[in-house]
Amino acid sequence: MWHVMHQANWTDWAHLVSTDLIHWTRIPSALFPNGDWDGSLTLLDGKPVIMYDCYNLVDCLPPNTTGPLGDNPFVGVARPKDPSDQNLTEWSKDQLNPVYLQDTKGAPITRGFAGPSNLWRGQDGNINMLMQLGDSIARFESSDARLHNWTEMDPAFFLKGGRGGHGSTGVTFFKLPATVTGSESSPLLETVANAPTHVLGGTWSNGDPNYNPGLPWYYLGHYDEASGNFSDVTPAQPIEEGGLTIWSTSHVEASGRMLYLGWFNYGLGCLTAPRALTYDPAFQKLLANPVKELASLRTASLGSLQDVSLKAGEGVSVFGSKNSTTFDLVAEISLPSGAAVSYGAAIMAATQSNAEILLAVDVSKPESGAIRVVNVSIGVPFSSPRTPMNSTFSFQLPDAASMELRVLGDRAIVEVFVGSGRGVFTTAPLAPGKDKSKSGFFLFAAESSPSTVVIKSVSAWAMGCGWA
């Protein structure tokens, strides 16, 4: 059973459950009322527990109790009333709430503050968590099974992610799955020496003027469990581009697969499709791709093509308008040996030139070390002029015979995955997505493409509903 909880209505943690990661049922909220603040849910020793930031003291307390108001560093603990209920329907705020935090000298912590991270046990059996305090992220430790007594072990665990306590919607800290090739189907391979061991997510990219709090930026580094030090940290990088998606939640399964959900908050308030994060050791970054279970939502075929050659400016329809406003498309584009190639896609389109979303992909010649540079541009011509939803970004791609393009289309959001999840972008179609006269998909060779674009294969399917 999978659970997703998310903030909703400024009052509660909404709660959804699924038996297959794809079909979801909404059940009563887990924290309500006074529960709409940052925090995390952890399966600690197999038992679920919520640690959450109480904006007001009353938010921490069980019903019919009172306390002072104000955004102070109070933490609440909540547990399921009936752990044997697989839906974990009802939750209780701990009678010992709130948790008061103290620094290494025993003084109350009153600095800028954001909700607690997920919990994990250290080598000594003690429980650990991270929390943003002021301009840094601190590590706390507890031997208290009730989770009410914590010691600030390292106030400078990570110095670049705090932003005065307002740098994130909640920090996450997970052990990386063993190095992978980018394929979710084989998440556990041998560990490379000196490779990063952990991912610190939901952080502020220190010093980046274009960063907004909560975006899906992360750092990779080596965590020494004996000393508690986090070192050899990579530069900050985003799971996806565009600045429209917030780091919502992530989880590592017992198998080692890391799952991620983004919160697309462009006036719509919806979650992305569940994604699997895998580690690419060649470029020390996380790749994001839709989970394999998503294929179970595919219904009728919308269209398929193989070995189609397009000269500069030529295009081909994968499927036409009025077929479906929801789809899953997978394309394999050839990369000519020793040559550059430029192609594009018209998404949610009536014609190749009349589309709600225009994608342009420029792939360079292989550079030294057999590496290509991919430049991606996504334009949304009909987006609001107040909040333009256009983006240009680049990433490196190992030289190969082909590259993958995956696009998920829905009435509310369109998710684009370029180069097996190396470049990810989420945006909103016009209306959003109600106009079936604009539901076609076209692939084309750019007018400036230096070589013929060969579509090795492309398949698209209509999608069934994920709400149970």
Query: Which one, of 90, 107, 65, 426, lies nearest residue 248 by Cα?
Result: 426
Kindly state the tokens that stand for 15: 């709660």
The more confident residue out of 62 and 40 is: 40
The more confident residue out of 390 and 223 is: 223
pTM, full prediction: 0.91
DSSP 57: H
The more confident residue out of 370 and 129 is: 129
pLDDT bucket at 135, cuts 50 / 70 / 90: confident
Give yes or no for residue 182 having a pLDDT over 70.
Answer: no
pLDDT of residue 35: 67
Query: Which one, of 65, 249, 263, 94, lies nearest residue 170 by Cα?
Result: 249
pLDDT of residue 199: 92
pLDDT of residue 178: 61
pLDDT bucket at 189, cuts 50 / 70 / 90: very low
- Mean pLDDT, range 330-359, rounded to an integer: 93
The residue type found at 38 is D
pLDDT of residue 385: 45
- Mean pLDDT, range 290-313, rounded to an integer: 96
Give yes or no for residue 92 having a pLDDT over 90.
Answer: yes
pLDDT of residue 322: 74
pLDDT bucket at 377, cuts 50 / 70 / 90: very high
The more confident residue out of 343 and 263 is: 343
pLDDT bucket at 98, cuts 50 / 70 / 90: confident
Query: Tens digits of per-residue pLDDT, 120-130?
Result: 999 999 999 99
pLDDT of residue 142: 94
Concatenated DSSP letters of 325-377: S-EEEEEEEE--TT--EEEEEEEEEEETTEEEEEEEEEEPPPBTTTEEEEEEE
CA distances from 450 to 37, 342, 392, 447 (A): 52, 7, 20, 9
* Residues 245, 455: Cα–Cα separation, whole Å: 30
pLDDT bucket at 70, cuts 50 / 70 / 90: low
Give yes or no for residue 200 having a pLDDT over 80.
Answer: yes
- Mean pLDDT, range 86-97, rounded to an integer: 94
- Mean pLDDT, range 320-343, rounded to an integer: 91
Q: What percent of the chain has pLDDT over 90?
A: 47
Its sign, for the CA torsion 91, 293, 296, 460, is positive
- Mean pLDDT, range 406-420, rounded to an integer: 92
Least confident of 66-80, 201-215, 324-338, 371-385: 201-215
Kindly state the tokens that stand for 205: 């990219």
Give yes or no for residue 234 having a pLDDT over 60.
Answer: yes
The more confident residue out of 359 and 399 is: 359
pLDDT of residue 53: 83
pLDDT of residue 154: 92
pLDDT of residue 186: 41
Task: Please check whether residue 170 is in contact with residue 114, taking contact to mean a CB–CB distance below 8 angstroms.
Answer: yes
* Residues 31, 317: Cα–Cα separation, whole Å: 48
Give yes or no for residue 211 having a pLDDT over 50.
Answer: yes
Task: Please check whether residue 150 is in contact with residue 99, taking contact to mean a CB–CB distance below 8 angstroms.
Answer: yes
The more confident residue out of 257 and 109 is: 257
pLDDT of residue 288: 93
pLDDT of residue 94: 93
Kindly state the tokens that stand for 65: 């109790």
Q: State the distance between the two ends of the chain, measured CA to CA, in whole angstroms.
A: 14
What average pLDDT is seen over the chain?
84
Task: Please check whether residue 2 is in contact with residue 15, taking contact to mean a CB–CB distance below 8 angstroms.
Answer: no
Q: What percent of the chain has pLDDT over 70?
A: 84
Task: Please check whether residue 79 is in contact with residue 49, taking contact to mean a CB–CB distance below 8 angstroms.
Answer: yes
The residue type found at 318 is V
Task: Please check whether residue 226 is in contact with residue 205, taking contact to mean a CB–CB distance below 8 angstroms.
Answer: no
Kindly state the tokens that stand for 409: 């289309």
Give yes or no for residue 161 having a pLDDT over 70.
Answer: no
- Mean pLDDT, range 381-391, rounded to an integer: 60
Kindly state the tokens that stand for 78: 């909540």
- Mean pLDDT, range 172-182, rounded to an integer: 70
CA distances from 271 to 247, 257, 415, 426 (A): 10, 19, 11, 11
CB atoms closer than 10 angstroms to residue 273: 23
- Mean pLDDT, range 263-282, rounded to an integer: 83
Domain architecture of the chain: domains with CATH? 2-293 (2.115.10.20), 296-463 (2.60.120.560)
The more confident residue out of 428 and 29 is: 29
SS3 of 278, please?
Answer: strand
pLDDT bucket at 183, cuts 50 / 70 / 90: very low
For the ranges 148-162, 170-184, 234-248, 345-359, the maximum mean pLDDT occurs at 345-359
Its sign, for the CA torsion 112, 251, 404, 283, is positive
Least confident of 27-31, 55-59, 177-181: 177-181
DSSP 104: T
Give yes or no for residue 245 having a pLDDT over 90.
Answer: no
